């Protein structure tokens, strides 16, 4: 477990992400068996969002949890709200948009509690910055959800450092994380101030699409991915890693902000590769060889 921030929330360093759960073909008891197997590997934190699986994945997970409710207190549940996606189940939504009003965020978190079959969330995140957001609205939602005991900790996702600072100015408690995209193929948080802010706050960032959503694999017409895979293969041999996945994830974990990684696969062997990554250490030069391959040029 790692402490996300001095506020005391602890999550596992590897966090199974539930965005693709509906495509894994597991329901009810089979999904419960998978959850128990994963928890047996020490992975007890799960990342959700209201919109995943066409607004259906939280309920799939909750239906499994309903079979053995005592598991709830051995796991940490993270979910997000604020995105409104068009979907046949939601005919009221005629255009993809964001809604970070207090009313919407509270309703959305309460619906997540019902879906997940729980009476509290360990961590609730605003999924994306909303062009029309006012921080006082988000703060009101957070205070109400916290005072009612429905949510224990709060954070954001995909926020710029200035948006993060703006929201925190309206709260009398710190945000515990910013969940952002980062991988050997997506370098933005190294350059846009996100990781600097994580170190300053301090908080541990949560990393999504840590394998670039699968772009690393079978990328025959993707020069950046080809360059990076070639170096990952070299480094994997040097550090005797089982596969390039664990090297790509170890590269993320090596950042001093102490990130957590949200995995995207339901396959146990891929979760094992992620766990293996926590045991790997890359030399500074190995780390920079991977960076340089991704950039396509030397650092100055």
Ligand X SMILES: NC(=O)c1ccc[n+]([C@@H]2O[C@H](COP(=O)([O-])OP(=O)(O)OC[C@H]3O[C@@H](n4cnc5c(N)ncnc54)[C@H](OP(=O)(O)O)[C@@H]3O)[C@@H](O)[C@H]2O)c1
Active site members: 52
Distance CA 148, CA 259 (A): 30
Half-sphere exposure for 73 (CA within 13 Å, toward CB): 2
Q: Are 116 and 65 in contact (CB under 8 A)?
A: yes
User: From the CB of 234, what's the least distance to ligand X, in Å?
Assistant: 17
Kindly state whether residue 264 participates in binding ligand X, applying the rule CB under 6 A.
yes
Among 8, 54, 103, 217, binds ligand X (CB under 6 A): 217
Using the rule CB under 6 A, is 54 a contact of ligand X?
no
**Residue 18 interacts with ligand X (CB under 6 A): yes or no:** yes
Tell me the closest approach of the beta carbon of residue 177 to ligand X, in angstroms: 11
Q: Of the ranges 30-38, 148-156, 206-214, 229-237, which one interacts with ligand X (CB under 6 A)? A: 206-214
The footprint of ligand X on this chain (CB under 6 A) covers a number of residues equal to: 24
> Which of residues 15 and 147 has its CB atom nearest to ligand X in the complex?
15
Query: In sequence order, what are the residues at sequence separation of 6 or more whose Cβ sits closer than 8 angstroms to the Cβ of residue 299?
Result: 288, 291, 292
Give me the 101-130 binding string for ligand X, x by CB under 6 A, dash otherwise.
--------------------------x---
Near ligand X in 129-168, by CB under 6 A: 157-158
Per-residue DSSP letters for 77-134? EEEEE-EE--BTTBTT--S-EE---HHHHHHHHHHHHHHHT-S-EEEEEE-S--TT--
CB 86: neighbour CB atoms within 10 A? 12
- State the alpha helices, DSSP H only, in 148-243: 161-168, 188-191, 194-200, 223-239
Judged by CB under 6 A, the residue of 17, 62, 161, 259 near ligand X is: 17
From candidates 27, 267, 268, 283, binder to ligand X by CB under 6 A: 267
CB 255 to ligand X: min, Å: 16
Contact status: 50 vs ligand X (CB under 6 A): no
CB of 51 to ligand X, least distance (A): 10
Residue 116, CA distances (Å) to 84, 121, 130 in order: 19, 9, 25
Q: How far is the CB of 210 from ligand X (least distance, A)?
A: 5
CA distance 51 to 218: 28
Stretch that binds ligand X, among 69-77, 170-178, 257-265, 286-294 (CB under 6 A): 257-265
**Residue 211 contacts ligand X per CB under 6 A:** yes
Q: How are beta strands 10-11 and 2-3 bridged, if at all?
A: antiparallel
Contact residues toward ligand X (CB under 6 A) are 17-20, 47, 127, 157-158, 179, 208-214, 217, 245, 262-265, 267, 270
């Amino acid at each position: 477990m790692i402490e996300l921030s001095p506020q005391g929330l602890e999550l596992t360093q590897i966090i199974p992400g539930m965005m693709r759960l509906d495509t894994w073909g597991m329901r009810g008891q089979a999904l419960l068996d998978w959850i128990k197997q994963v928890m047996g590997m020490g992975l007890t934190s799960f990342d959700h969002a209201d919109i995943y699986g066409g607004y259906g994945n939280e309920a799939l997970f909750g239906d499994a949890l309903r079979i053995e409710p005592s598991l709830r207190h051995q796991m940490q549940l993270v979910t997000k709200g604020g995105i409104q996606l068009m979907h046949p189940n939601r005919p009221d939504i005629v255009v993809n948009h964001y809604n970070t009003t207090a009313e919407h965020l509270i309703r959305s978190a309460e619906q997540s509690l019902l879906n997940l079959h729980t009476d509290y969330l360990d961590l609730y995140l605003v999924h994306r910055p909303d062009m029309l957001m006012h921080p006082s609205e988000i703060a009101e939602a957070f205070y109400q959800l916290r005072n009612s005991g429905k949510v224990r900790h709060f954070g954001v996702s995909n926020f710029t450092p200035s948006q993060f600072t703006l929201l925190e100015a309206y709260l009398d408690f710190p945000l515990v994380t910013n969940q952002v995209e980062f991988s050997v193929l997506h370098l933005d948080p190294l350059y846009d101030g996100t990781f600097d802010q994580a170190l300053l706050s301090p908080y541990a960032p949560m990393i999504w699409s840590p394998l670039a959503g699968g772009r690393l694999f079978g990328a025959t017409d993707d020069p950046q991915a080809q360059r990076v895979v070639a170096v990952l293969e070299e480094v994997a041999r040097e550090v005797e890693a089982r596969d390039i996945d664990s090297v790509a994830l170890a590269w993320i974990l090596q950042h001093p902000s102490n990130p957590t990684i949200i995995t995207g696969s339901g396959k146990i062997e891929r979760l094992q590769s992620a766990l293996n990554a926590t045991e790997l250490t890359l030399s500074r030069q190995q780390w920079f060889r991977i960076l340089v391959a991704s950039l396509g040029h030397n650092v100055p």
